[in-house]
Structure 1
Amino acid sequence: MTWTSYGATCSAPSAGYSASTFASAVQLLAAAQCFSEESLPDSSDQNFAAYDFIIVGAGASGCVLANRLSEIEHWNVLLIEAGGDPPVESSIPGYHFSLHNSDFNWRYKTVNDGRTNQGNQDGCIYWPRGKMVGGSTNINAMMYVQGNSEDYQRWFDAGNTEWTVEDVRRCFRKSENYQDQLLDQDPDIRNHYGHDGPLVINTFNSTERVRGNKLISAYDEIGIKKVKDINVANAFGAAIMTVTASNGERNSMSKAYLVPIKDRKNFSIMKNALVTKVLINDLNQAYGVLVEQNGVTVTIHANIEVILSAGALNTPQILMLSGIGPKEHLESKGIQTIVDLPMVGQNLIDHLLFPITVFSDELTENSEADDEFDNLKYFHNRSGPLAQNVVLDTFAFYATNEDAKYPEFEAYVLRKRKNSSGLKKEFVTLFRFTDHVADSIVELNQNHTLHLFLLSLLHPLSSGTITLSSNNPKDPPLINANYFADDNDLELMVSGIQKLLELLDTEYFKSIGGFLGRTRTPNCDELELGSREYWKCQCLDIVSTVFHPVKTCKMGQLESDSVVSSRLKVHGVENLRVVDGSVMPNHISGNTMAPCVMVAERAAELIKEDYNLY
């Protein structure tokens, strides 16, 4: 069905994943409104014989690469995506969680290691990854964080000489189109950002700015300094979020980088197509890919390069299915080893997250019914709750070590009014809490407003793995997150929690009667609330994710310790690169979307350099 409005057409009016009749009506109205993102023409009816570059995965990095490589008019570029077009919900910031349990993401889950997550159903948690054009940039929280300069200095110091801090910062600016008219008057902010790139950076049309500023003042009171802009402050302090949204609409990478080039004659996109294997000849040269679409498998040739941009989970999976990876593991799955690269799928690092339940007697200005009808404002002027993501649009970055060069923690808060309907369903579906855990939070929420602080450890020492469950490309990879395997992570996390809870002694939280609530978990109910042992136990029982996996195809110099070179070429294979978050050699002090865009901007420069075109 196609909806027409304001002289434009919109495909895919709704995914139909809303939780209520009211929300379904809102989605239908949204479809009739017609958002600015256009459907990209699918080139599947073409004869896919050969292209100069084949890019696998239309997520953050793949969208950037398709745009930048097709700038070279004599290069033919094909982008292959396992999913289809994003639904209308993806353009509405307030619906970003609605697609986390839908066909528009891979719906991955971690394995049950018997040690962590025993307060979660089946001992595992969701790791949603976008499966549509635009990838996870159509389901994420839109937070735009560049990271700390020390993050990238560590890349360079490890021997990745193409990645100087100056190059990294230049590539951020190259992507950016900063548009916050209020903050842009500050010369430090104006000079920090780029203004001519494809990616619009702004702040949300927030209805919670007054409360957000109160929280920022509370952070400032406990020593987490109030700053105007978190990126200008090098990812230290507390501030209003910078986001990839403007005028109440999400700015995904497909909207920013693909829609503007949809009519380029040297650019093609193939949707709903699963790449099952990279083809490699006897000279260890990549020459194409096998693709399954509508039950038919076809071979597509690459004249110059194959580039994997399928993300930190799917890229190592594709490499291993193609015979590139740890030999012993590949042979155990019946896969012939072409290149024995032991680090493929290893070194998995994620920003682990821990939920902290703070309650208060804060008065609520609106009823829940008022909030629902506030949503209708969205279709009048793109304001109201739907114009922002579901957390309060503030975040805080801090370290417990006063001499730290980069932050250890990132914190944000999800606020739920007293006796909030549907709260248990959210905890059970999104966090996969057991009834025992969810009920303890819901019971306190019956008489108190919930401030669910979400605290993320930015630089964990613990690492996990991505491995194959079988040699069938349709079987999901095995995700062993291995959270808190290093005891230092657990000790540091507890210190970070205790620092954050100093907020309860601030003027703001005292004024609303803020207090720490006990979350019941399987192994911790008898421990003293707020003690270090209590927090250690809780962390192990209900640790979660902020959906930031990296490093599974780490860049570096040695085949024994990395997967790609600093020019992102796969060791031991010619004409094959990896360009996505999996190449990061250490984690970033913040959300990973912006760095993934930067990585692809820099990669496009390196590729053009290699062919004397930059």
Structure 2
Amino acid sequence: MKGCQPLFSGTRRSPSVFRSAMSFFSSCAAALAVASPATALSWEQPRGVQQYGTFFGLPGQNATYDYVVVGGGTAGLTVASRLAENRSLSVAVVEPGTFSEISNGNNSQVPAYSYSSVSGDGEYVNPWIDWELNTVPQPQLQGNTLLYAQGKGLGGSSIRNQMIYQRGSRGSYDYWAAQVGDDSYRWDNMRQFFDKSVHVTAHNNSLRVANASVTDYAVTASLQTGGPLQVSWSNFAMPFSSWGLKALFAAGMPRLSNFFSDGNLHGAAYNPSTIDPKYQTRSSSESSFLQQAIESGSSLTVYPMTQAMEILFDDDKRATGVRVQSVGRNYTLSVEKEVILSAGVMHSPQLLMVSGVGPRKTLEENGIQVVADRPGVGQNMHDSCNAGGVTFPVSVISTAIRQRDAEYEARAEEQFNTNGTGILTNTGGDVLSFEKLPEAYRSQLSNGTRERLAEWPDDWPETEYVLSSSGSTLEGASATEQNYVDIGILLVGALSRGNLTIQSGSMHDKPVISTNWLLDEADQEVAVQSYRRIREFWSHVNITTGPEESPRTNVSTDADLLDFIKGAVSPIHHATSTCMMGRVNETMAVVDSMARVFGVKGLRVIDSSSFRFTPPGHTQAATYAHAEKLAEDIKRSLSGE
């Protein structure tokens, strides 16, 4: 199967899929039809906007709310739903996309199909759920232009990521707190907000083969009774993963038993994912936070398929609302309290600049009136990158079997539909490992690079190794008769910084993005030594059926490896900090530690763009915790704390 998968006949779909779809269709009908007073449920929405049995806002009608959240993504739906728990507050969410259950079908629900959503291959791009953003040509990457996937729809990137749930290191959050001058970001203080979002269900080893059991993972009571986001393990382990773990351990990698949740990342283990254990389907901010808000009858109003065009300010530089556009209609959503910008790492800084908050020179060049000269808007982009990996043919199955064996795929669909088991419950990569380069490899780094890496906290790993059974490093592998797997490299201690800017004063024009991966020579050195480390891992794997397929053993010098890496780099979609958090006296800081934008009033940025940096690893858990913490900050400020 390739591209968008058709819905299976008789597909098992979680109730949230039906709730979302039925709510969407019935709400659209209510919004577009002339409802009869005798048959419609109607009530007065905040400040006079009337709706008919729906939580959707009406396109084209001005309205006023206490809070308007721009962006219904991972952070946006989290903060909006938490604020709406207070029934005395009116909260609106503006989202350019819609429900992924409708716009992307099983590709957004079935874990095995998640790879198509994060692939750098434009053939897989679905514009209903993706912004189709590309970087400018990257000279340090052989001039390549790279597709950078960004979620579009209710749930944002949580509807199209690879669902990995993993928290950063203790030291990284203590470092964040020190950088912004606010101890509330220390690990011991942030942990409650990680726990608050999730409902963790222990692994079901009875459905996994014996040598792929998830062992020694203690799921505490607080995690089992936490928030609406479902976190669990797949009911199927990729066969290579157990062999790969043995190789990692044989090469000196410690075994982790904390499922990456206690602030220690150094080691390897089966990773948990945002999978609903009951159905083995994706759990996103839409299926968790939004559905919970809807079912509880909270004060939340959603404007789907609605683009925020401009944040509006009064003469006192206070945000008064947002000019939006949907179904060809322009109208204004005003606020009594604050605008909360949660449009994501690429679009939050773009909307700030379009609205007059950003580098003065950029704004004036695009004919935009300057509201606040903030040179850091769009700068400081911090992102891990996928530096490729080392691929071998193996004697166990990979996901390639689904492309070439129709009978196997049919059985897999039947297993998934019948009882939520089989290969379709697995994303194709279910083992993570992190480390600082061992001394044998670290000693090959230049003195300057070792000094630069020492700037990170002691527990911050430089590299992450991902065991992937998708054969993604080898182009065309899925079409062959062989099973290919790879051990991939993510540079989680990256020192390079990217940026973005605008090409006009319109949100309809895409931002101009330069990720600058490998621009810092220290990142290049780490990537080369990481490849050598991976080859050591492979020397302990005894299920290979042929020689190294990629990059091949003749690619052996530092120069040859670096040249290969430059052509292999692709996004892992962990960019942050384009509206960087910092202190008031930092020129490049955009928001303070409560996410309030410097230079204006009544405006916050709550999403990964307001991170101080990208914590080591995958950003999904960090984004939920960030939103939980800042939502709590707002609620406390309302109560006078």
Residue 148 of structure 2 corresponds to residue 127 of structure 1:
yes
Following TM superposition, the consecutive aligned residue runs of length 4 or more in structure 1 with deviations greater than 6 angstroms are none
- Report the counterpart of residue 202 of structure 1 in structure 2: 232
Quote the sequence identity (%): 26
- 1:95-494 matches, within 5 Å, as 95-99=113-117, 101-102=125-126, 103-118=128-143, 123-158=144-179, 159-181=181-203, 188-190=218-220, 193=223, 195-208=225-238, 210-228=239-257, 229-232=259-262, 234-247=264-277, 248-263=280-295, 264-362=297-395, 364=397, 368-373=405-410, 374-389=412-427, 391-401=428-438, 404-415=458-469, 438=475, 446=480, 448-494=482-528
Query: 1:186-207: CA deviations, max 9, x gaps?
Result: 5854278463221111101114
Matched AA of 2:264: N
Q: Cα offset for 1:44?
A: 2.9
Distance 1:124 1:185, change over 3 A: closer
Question: How far has the Cα of 1:308 moved from its partner?
Answer: 0.3
- On the 8 A contact 2:201/2:224 being kept in 1, the answer is no
Q: 1:542 to 1:360 in 2, by over 3 A?
A: closer
Aligned partners of 1:293, 1:238: CA distance in 2, in Å?
47
- How far does residue 364 in structure 1 lie from its aligned partner after superposition? 4.6
Letter in 2 for 1:250: R
Deviation at 1:361, TM superposition (A): 4.5
Distance across 2 between alignment mates of 1:31 and 1:344: 45
Task: Say if 1:590 and 1:575 are closer, same or farther in 2 by CA, change over 3 A.
Answer: same
Aligned-partner residue type, residue 482 of structure 1: N
Name whichever of 89-98 and 469-478 sits farther off.
89-98
**In 2, Cα distance between equivalents of 1:191 and 1:153:** 26
1:144–1:170 Cα change, 3 Å: same
TM-score scaled to structure 2, two decimals? Answer: 0.82
How far apart are the structure 2 equivalents of 1:181 and 1:446? 33
The residue number in structure 2 matching 1:569 is: 596
Amino acid at match of 1:457: L
Aligned to 1:421: none
What is the letter of the counterpart of residue 71 of structure 1?
A: E
Q: Deviations over 1:384-403 (max 9, x none)?
A: 222121x2311111110569
Aligned partner letter, 1:143: I
Asked if structure 2 preserves the Cα contact closer than 8 Å seen for 1:504 and 1:514, the reply is no
Q: Deviation per CA, 1:221-242, whole angstroms, max 9, x where unpaired?
A: 1111122223246122111111
Aligned partners of 1:482 and 1:472: how far apart in 2?
Answer: 25
Q: What amino acid maps onto 1:256 in structure 2? A: S
Q: Does 1:593 align with 2:620?
A: yes
Q: CA deviation at 1:30?
A: 6.0
SS at match of 2:131: coil
Q: Is the 8 A contact 1:189 1:232 kept in 2?
A: no
CA contact (8 A) 2:503 2:511 kept: yes
Does structure 2 retain, via aligned residues, the 8 Å contact 1:204–1:246? no
CA contact (8 A) 1:217 1:226 kept: no
Task: Output one character per residue of 1:369-422: Cα deviation in whole Å (capped at 9) or x when no partner.
Answer: 343122221111111222121x231111111056942211112133258xxxxx
Instruction: Judge conservation of contact 1:230–1:238 (CA < 8 Å) in 2.
Output: no
Give 2:578's aligned residue: 552
Q: String of CA shifts for 1:448-485, please: whole Å, max 9, x gaps.
A: 53213321000211101110022221111011011111
Other-structure match for 2:88: 74
The offset of 1:489, in angstroms, is 0.7
Whether the 8 Å CA contact 1:162–1:567 is kept in 2: the answer is no
Sort the Cα spacing of 1:309 and 1:117 in 2 relative to 1 into closer, same or farther, 3 A.
farther
1:211 aligned partner, one-letter code? F
| Kept after mapping to 1: 8 A contact 2:134/2:148 | yes
Q: What TM-score comes out, normalization by structure 1 length? A: 0.86
Distance in 1 (alpha carbons) for counterparts of 2:87 and 2:394: 62
The aligned amino acid for 2:595 is L
Distance 1:43 1:571, change over 3 A: same
1:511, CA displacement in angstroms? 4.0
Unaligned runs of 5+ in 2: 24-53, 118-123, 206-213, 440-453
Q: Deviations over 1:528-580 (max 9, x none)?
A: 41221112112222211101110101111135120000111000111000000
Larger displacement relative to structure 2 (109-118 or 461-470): 109-118
Amino acid at match of 1:114: P
The residue aligned with 1:602 is: 629
Q: Give distance in 2, aligned partners of 1:613 and 1:28.
A: 52
In structure 2, distance between residues paired with 1:30 and 1:129: 31
| Equivalent pair of 1:308/1:315 in contact (CA under 8 Å) | yes
Kept after mapping to 1: 8 A contact 2:170/2:263? no
In the other structure, the counterpart of 1:29 is 9
Match of 1:501 in 2: 535
Task: Determine helix, strand or coil for the equivalent of 1:115.
Answer: helix
What code does the residue aligned with 1:52 have? D
Letter in 2 for 1:152: Y
Matches of 1:192 and 1:551, distance apart in 2: 30
Contact 2:55 2:294 in 1 (8 A): no
Q: Deviations over 1:50-107 (max 9, x none)?
A: 0000001111111111111011121100011010111232121122234450021111
| 1:368 Cα deviation after fit | 2.0
Q: Which SS does the other structure have where 2:579 is aligned? A: coil
Which deviates the most, 358-367 or 492-501? 358-367
Quote the Cα distance in structure 2 between the aligned partners of 1:179 and 1:364. 27
Q: Which amino acid aligns with 2:97?
A: G
Q: SS of 1:537's equivalent?
A: helix
Q: 1:28 Cα shift?
A: 3.9
2: distance between equivalents of 1:131 and 1:203?
26
Secondary structure of 2:490 counterpart? strand
Q: Helix, strand or coil: the match of 1:345?
A: coil
The alignment of Structure 1 onto Structure 2 pairs a total of residues equal to 560
Q: Name the counterpart of 1:420.
A: none
- CA distance in structure 2 between the aligned counterparts of 1:519 and 1:363, rounded to whole angstroms: 21
CA RMSD of aligned residues (A): 2.6
In 2, Cα distance between equivalents of 1:187 and 1:547: 28
| Pair 384,194 (structure 1): closer, same or farther in 2 beyond 3 Å | closer
- 5+ unaligned residues in a row in structure 1: which ranges? 1-17, 418-425, 428-436, 521-526
Partners of 2:315 and 2:563 lie apart in 1 by: 53
Letter matched to residue 115 of structure 1:
Q
- SS of the equivalent of 1:311 reads coil
CA contact (8 A) 1:204 1:243 kept: yes
What amino acid maps onto 2:484 in structure 1? L
Is the alpha carbon distance of 1:232 and 1:514 closer, same or farther for their aligned partners in structure 2, counting shifts above 3 Å?
A: farther
SS in 2 for 1:305: strand
**1:608 CA drift (Å):** 1.3
Distance 2:256 2:374 in 1: 44
* 1:94 equivalent in structure 2: 112
Tell me by how many angstroms 1:512 deviates: 2.7
**Whole-Å separation in 1 of the counterparts to 2:77 and 2:390:** 38
